[in-house]
């Protein structure tokens, strides 16, 4: 009986990238290689385990049943590697170096400055790099060390703590509000269309709040 080759972590990285990018072309950009290299690597992996991991089509790469199992295993390995990295980093007790803090543009401008000043007075060996991004950076992939977000993290491997509260509001043209009747009753706003943020942590939180507050709200217009 022929012995099945064992995949390396680099093989799993290619499989994850292809599954997340829905094909070899975009995966090549993620991995920093050319398309032919990514395509040949996948074919080599499939030959080594004698199993088709992706069905190729014009619409992209669709994982087979075996492919989904391998992808799931690779994701567990990836999270374990990230967790180990955070543990090792956490055991370094020297308070020196750089901390990367990601926050929305509004939080970065209005909330962080005064707190960073007092923090650096307590820990002069640390420098704070604020990543003012409305997009969501990945803590698991070490794109940032700390994140200020308007909602709790969905990744159970991350630890979060509530540090403040803020409120949402609905704003509109006075004539429109008058025509709708009492603006205190959310039911009067059902069926109306709203403009919301998009592409950021605030966008996700604001849409969730809007759906809970206004029953039957239309698909909101996106503020790009």
pLDDT value at 19 more than 60: yes
pLDDT value at 168 more than 50: yes
Tell me, rounded to whole angstroms, the distance of Cα 161 from its chain centroid. 18
Give pTM, 2 decimals.
Answer: 0.45
3-state secondary structure 170-184: CCCCHHHHHHHCCCC
Average pLDDT, the chain: 79
pLDDT value at 42 more than 90: yes
Virtual torsion, Cα 78, 6, 63, 80, nearest 10 deg: -10
pLDDT per residue over 109-122, tens digit each? 888 888 888 888 88
| DSSP 3-state of 69 | helix
Tell me whether strands 97-103 and 146-148 are parallel, antiparallel or unpaired. parallel
As to burial, measured by CB atoms within 10 angstroms (0-12 exposed, 13-18 middle, 19+ buried), residue 70 is buried
**Percent over 70 (pLDDT), the chain:** 82
Domains within the chain, CATH numbers bracketed: 9-89 (1.10.10.10), 94-148 (3.40.190.10), 174-223 (no CATH)
pLDDT per residue over 125-149, tens digit each? 888 899 887 677 777 778 888 888 8
């Amino acid at each position: 009986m022929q012995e099945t080759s064992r995949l390396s972590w680099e093989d799993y990285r290619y499989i994850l990238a292809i599954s997340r990018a829905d094909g070899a072309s975009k995966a090549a950009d993620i991995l920093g290689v050319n398309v032919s290299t990514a395509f040949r690597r996948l074919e080599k992996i499939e030959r080594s385990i004698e199993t088709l991991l992706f069905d190729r089509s014009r619409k992209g790469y669709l994982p087979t049943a075996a492919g989904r199992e391998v992808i799931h295993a690779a994701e567990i390995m990836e999270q374990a590697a990230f967790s180990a990295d955070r543990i090792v980093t956490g055991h370094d007790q020297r308070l020196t170096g750089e901390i990367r803090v990601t926050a929305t543009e509004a939080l970065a401008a209005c909330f962080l400055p005064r707190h960073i000043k007092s923090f650096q007075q307590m820990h002069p060996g640390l420098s704070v790099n604020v990543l003012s991004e409305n997009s969501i950076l990945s803590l698991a992939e070490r794109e940032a060390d700390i994140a200020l977000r308007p909602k709790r993290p969905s990744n159970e491997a991350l630890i979060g703590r509530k540090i403040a509260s803020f409120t949402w509001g609905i704003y509109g043209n006075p004539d429109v509000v008058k025509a709708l009747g009492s603006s205190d009753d959310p039911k009067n706003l059902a069926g109306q269309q709203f403009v919301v943020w998009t592409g950021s942590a605030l966008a996700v939180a604001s849409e969730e709040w809007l759906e809970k507050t206004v029953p039957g709200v239309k698909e909101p217009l996106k503020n790009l």
